[in-house]
Amino acid sequence: MTFKTLLRAAVACAAIALPAQAQTPTQGTPPMTPDIPAKFTAPNVGYDYERREVMIPMRDGVKLYTVIIVPEGAKDAPILLTRTPYNAKTPSKRFNSPYAAATGAQVDEAFLADGYIRVYQDVRGKYASEGDYVLTRPLRGPLNNTPVDHSTDAYDTIDWLVKNTPESNGRVGVTGSSYPGFTAAMALIDPHPALKAAVPQSPMIDGWMGDDWFQNGAFRQTMLDWFMNQMTEKGSGPDLPREALDDYENFLRAGNVWSFGKKAGLDQIPAFRKIVEHPAYDQFWQEQALDKQLAKHPLKVPTLWVGSLYDQEDIYGAVHAYKAVEAKDANNDMNFLALGAWRHSGVNYEQRQLGALKMPGDTATEFRLKVMKPFLDQHLKTNGPKADIAPVTMFETGTLQWKRYDRWPQAAALKPLYLQPGLKLGFDAPTGAAYDEYVSDPAKPVPFVPRPVRADDADQWRYWLASDQRHASTRPDVLVYVSEPLKEPLKIAGEPVVNLFASTTGTDSDWVVKLIDVYPDFVPSDLDMSGYQMPIAMEIFRGRYRDSYEKPSPIPAGKVQKYRFELPTANHVFQPGHRIMVQVQSSWFPLYDRNPQTYVENIFTAPPSAYRKATQRIYHTGAAASAIELPVVPLN
């Protein structure tokens, strides 16, 4: 019998069988029978996993909703846990599929396919979990007089899992990105003995110094949508109400942050009020700074801190948490750092392009398969193979390749790149004119992206840190310093440091400094990059905190002051033919709230009369020679 004959016979048999499988009910269903059954049971025939939904009790009696995905035939399997305020059902049911690798989040495909038990849990007070929700609930102590925090909840969850999941090998890892990165990091405080590895991704570590809410004291207004979405309902709430499509107009019309928030109803949310009540880096913020807390505890769990060089939300956390515990890693085999050229949480998806900049492939999936999974396999699998990964894995922008290092930062010393007269930039100490100046007008702040600033444009927000800075470089209230085209490549590997000497005619001011790679005027292989002003590291600093983050003070009008602060981590090679650029400005709107440029006790509630123009001077001579101190290293 030929193959075609067999195929025709099989099709005929299937056709004969269909009527029997599709028989109609023997009795009619009354027309007014309610069409939502009391309980719907989803068929699971042919599924290669079992999905369990349980309520796990915490030590205070509160039960947390937890989804457990157990691959078919799992035995002696590791457990990977994520604790989230973003609905445990979402990543645990990406596709309504009979395949485990498809039902989990994209980042979990390789783990579920390899037999990992994947666990997702709603944090207390969110979605299906019981209890009260407190934003980034502090550790038990001065700010938390209850017996529970995210550390204890992780401990109790892990304890229950290893006792009630017979398919497991009793070894648990924690991971998650952003807020779930924070909860993963919290699990490292007094960890459960079964916790054998952690991969906090883009973790919220210090909300005032550089993650989510503030950057060096300047408030990030764009996160107010998150407040509305996360804290108006136990589930997912609405977006902020808006009059105009352009958020530049919406925030400008409101005046100050408190007025904007109150109009939207955010004054009803305690977390918003707490932020407004604590504009400076006081005990409220210092006690929550997780890098400071981690530094107080022994390093017991192998941890891979994963961050993004272009993280638009939590660019601070991973690097500073790594640094906080690195001194405890005597053998350089417990504390790991990895940074990719990704957006916030980009490690969990495909990342083939960073705005206009094309990558040499899907760098995020490559990282997960070559670094993240081997790390977890080593520590979570029974007799897991040793991972061939470096203490530091860093993507190098400029050359678009991964680098392996034994430590971070690479640079042992900093080399000053001076702002020079004539708006030039170079390594030679400047001589000549004492300063350059511009007028900063709070009524016409510098936008952080080309207008309109749209909350509905996800990619505008995701990739703004890699956006072309030509939109700002032509403004009269932005100083632009540019080097000559480079004749040789220049590599930096660490945190550039701003050493700015400036004066203002006001009594308060913000200083925004950007380190930029300017592409050649014509790039024939990629026309979109011709003349592109590619940000390498950018930061804002609120002038009132120049002497103390905890105790702000007015800036003496007209007097030169020194402002010293770090730019975010960079691992970059400026190529020959490219130029280095530094931009200096005094607003970055509406990303950050406007500085009124008149000192007030609390900028959140500044009156309209406080917002005044100011003449800003940037000095570049003698003892007041402004510079960006670069972590220059040899090429390797």
User: Domain range spanning residue 303?
Assistant: 49-209+284-405
Residue 38 lies in a domain: no
pLDDT for 44 equals 86
Other beta carbons less than 10 A from residue 615's beta carbon: 13
Look up residue 320 and give its amino acid.
H
Sign, CA torsion 186/188/191/193: positive
Residue 192 lies in a domain: yes
CATH of the domain at 104: 3.40.50.1820
Residue 541 lies in a domain: yes
pLDDT for 43 equals 86
Residues 228 and 312 in one domain: no
Q: CA–CA separation, 305 vs 290, rounded Å?
A: 13
Q: Is the peptide bond before 452 cis (omega within 30 degrees of 0)?
A: yes
pLDDT for 24 equals 61
Alpha helices (runs of H) in 307-466, residue ranges in sequence order: 317-326, 363-367, 373-380, 458-462
Q: Which residues of the chain have pLDDT under 50?
A: 1-22
CATH of the domain at 232: 1.10.3020.10
Residues 300 and 270 in one domain: no
CATH of the domain at 483: 2.60.120.260
Percent of the chain predicted with pLDDT > 90? 93
Q: CA–CA separation, 419 vs 429, rounded Å?
A: 9
Domain boundary among 283, 312, 334: 283
Residues 239 and 139 in one domain: no
Residue 1 lies in a domain: no
Residues 564 and 428 in one domain: yes
pLDDT for 459 equals 95
**Burial status of residue 478 (CB atoms within 10 A of its CB: 0-12, 13-18, 19 or more):** buried
Domain boundary among 283, 312, 342: 283
Residues 144 and 178 in one domain: yes
Residues 308 and 252 in one domain: no
DSSP assignment of 158-173 equals HHHHHHH-TTEEEEEE
Residues 99 and 193 in one domain: yes
Q: How many structural domains are present in the chain?
A: 3
Residues 323 and 178 in one domain: yes
Tokens of 302: 């192998």
Tokens of 274: 């707490």
Helix (H) or strand (E) holding 628: strand 627-630
Q: CA–CA separation, 234 vs 129, rounded Å?
A: 9
Residues 116 and 249 in one domain: no
Q: CA–CA separation, 537 vs 392, rounded Å?
A: 19
Residue 31 lies in a domain: no
Tokens of 464: 């703004």
Q: CA–CA separation, 532 vs 530, rounded Å?
A: 5
Q: CA–CA separation, 500 vs 517, rounded Å?
A: 20
Residue 34 lies in a domain: no
Sign, CA torsion 365/366/370/375: negative
8 Å CB contact between 503 and 560:
yes
Contacts for 226 with CB less than 8 Å, ≥ 6 apart:
none
Give the residue among 236, 237, 61, 57 at the shortest CA–CA distance from 161: 57
């989803």: which residue's tokens? 42
Alpha helices (runs of H) in 22-119, residue ranges in sequence order: 100-103, 109-113
Domain boundary among 226, 251, 283: 283
Residue 120 lies in a domain: yes
pLDDT for 636 equals 83
Residue 609 lies in a domain: yes
Residues 262 and 127 in one domain: no
8 Å CB contact between 380 and 196:
yes
Other beta carbons less than 10 A from residue 115's beta carbon: 18
DSSP assignment of 121-150 equals EEPTTSTT--S---TT-PPSBTTB-SS--H
Give the residue among 121, 124, 115 at the shortest CA–CA distance from 171: 115
DSSP assignment of 207-275 equals TTTTSTTEETTEEBGGGHHHHHHHHSSSS--PPPP-SSSBHHHHHHHH-SHHHHHHHHTGGGSHHHHHH
Residues 464 and 481 in one domain: yes
Q: CA–CA separation, 161 vs 84, rounded Å?
A: 17
Residues 428 and 394 in one domain: no
Q: CA–CA separation, 576 vs 521, rounded Å?
A: 13
